[in-house]
Every structure is written in structure tokens, then in C-alpha cells.
């Protein structure tokens, strides 16, 4: 029997999106990837927008006027939110990739402990710091609205 005759059962993107009954790190993984893609999309848009400068002052002012609307301010805040999460969670990932907070290999004895549980307090701290950074940034963004 060849592989092609079997039913395909790959989760695809649902593997990212349905965190299911796994731990919070799986949601952190999904959010990290999605925010990474969002920042990449913003970066491409950012290059496109700033390239208006080479078309002259008038084109630049037109684009800036267009972007100076509440909708884009909200969009900017979302990018800031994505950046804050991605950067702080990225620091956690770099530290775990360097072997910090994971413990040392040991003979598995039931009930098993694992490195994911051992580093979970770090994830909680990172999420709290991210929330504080987002809140502080949120206050600053609110000031940017006319009349505030």
C-alpha cells in the first residue's frame, strides 16, 4: 500500500490555531508567530509608505495626512502591541534556547516533570512585563488623539 492511498491527516494552520488542551506555551508559540508575521507585514507597509519621500514633499505630506487618522493610530497601537509581545517573548525564547530555566536532564520518574513546566514562571513574568509595557504605551497612544 502506498502513502498516497492513505487519508491525509495533517493539521496545517489548525495546528497553530487550536491550542487545545496543551499548556499556555502553545498559545505563546502561536501568538509569537502571528505577531512576527504582523510585524513583517507592517515592515513592508512601512517601507512602502516612507518611500513616498522620494516622490517629493507634496506626496509625502499627502501620505502623512492620510495616515494621521484615528484608524491608523489604532493600527499603530496594534503594531506596538505585537512588537512588545514579540520582543519580550523573544527574550524568553532566546534564554530557553541557551538552556536557562530548563533544569538538568534527570531520570524520568512518574509523575513526570518537564522543562516546559520548569520555565513557566518565567513566561508568567514575561507576560506581566508585556502587559505593563502595553498599558504604558496605550496611555501614550491615547494622548495622540485630538482633544485628549
Partner 1 sequence: MIEPVSTQGEKTDEIVKNVKFKVLRFDRDTIPSPRVDSFDVPVKKGMTVLDALQYIKENLDSTLSWRFSCRMGVCGSCGMFINGFPRLACNTQVLELEADVVDLKPLPNFDTIKDLVPDLAVLFEKHRSVRPFTLRKDIAELDNPSGEFFQTTDELQRYLQFAYCIKCGLCMAACPTVATDRRYLGPQALTQAHRYNMDSRDEGRDERKDEALGTHGVFRCHFAGACSEACPKGVDPAFAIQLMKRDALKASFGLLRKKKAAPLAPKVTSGKRMEGVPDAPKRTV
Instruction: Using CB under 8 A, list all residues that contact partner 1.
Output: 1, 3, 5-16, 20-23, 25-26, 28-30, 32-33, 93, 96-99, 102-103, 105-116
Quick check: helix, strand or coil at residue 106?
Answer: coil
From CA 94, how far away is CA 98, in angstroms rounded?
6
The helix (H) or strand (E) run that includes residue 80 is helix 70-97
As measured in angstroms, the least distance from the Cβ of 39 to partner 1 is 15
CB atoms within 10 A of CB 118: 14
Q: Which is nearer to partner 1, 72 or 100 (CB)?
A: 100
Q: Which is nearer to partner 1, 22 or 145 (CB)?
A: 22
115 or 137: whose CB is closer to partner 1? 115
Task: For the CB of residue 85, give the shortest distance to partner 1 in the complex, in Å.
Answer: 14
Q: State the nearest-atom distance from the C-beta of 60 to partner 1, in Å.
A: 38
The answer to whether 102 and 118 have CB atoms below 8 angstroms apart is yes
Distance CA 90, CA 129 (A): 13
State phi, psi for 50 to the nearest 5 degrees.
Answer: -70, -20
Closer CB to partner 1, 15 or 138, in the complex: 15
* Shortest Å distance, C-beta 141 to partner 1: 29
Amino acid at each position: 500500500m502506498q502513502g498516497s492511498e492513505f487519508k491525509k491527516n495533517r493539521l496545517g494552520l489548525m495546528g497553530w490555531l487550536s491550542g487545545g488542551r496543551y499548556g499556555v506555551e502553545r498559545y505563546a508559540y502561536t501568538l509569537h508567530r502571528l505577531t512576527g508575521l504582523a510585524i513583517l507585514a507592517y515592515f513592508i507597509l512601512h517601507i512602502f509608505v516612507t518611500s513616498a519621500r522620494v516622490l517629493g514633499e507634496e506626496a509625502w505630506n499627502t501620505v502623512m495626512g492620510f495616515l494621521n487618522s484615528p484608524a491608523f493610530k489604532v493600527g499603530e497601537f496594534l503594531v506596538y502591541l505585537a512588537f512588545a509581545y514579540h520582543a519580550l517573548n523573544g527574550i524568553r525564547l532566546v534564554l530557553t534556547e541557551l538552556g536557562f530555566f530548563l533544569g538538568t536532564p534527570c531520570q524520568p520518574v512518574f509523575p513526570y516533570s518537564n522543562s516546559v513546566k520548569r520555565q513557566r514562571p518565567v513566561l508568567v513574568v514575561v507576560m506581566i512585563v508585556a502587559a505593563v509595557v502595553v498599558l504604558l504605551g496605550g496611555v501614550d497612544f491615547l494622548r495622540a488623539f485630538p482633544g485628549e
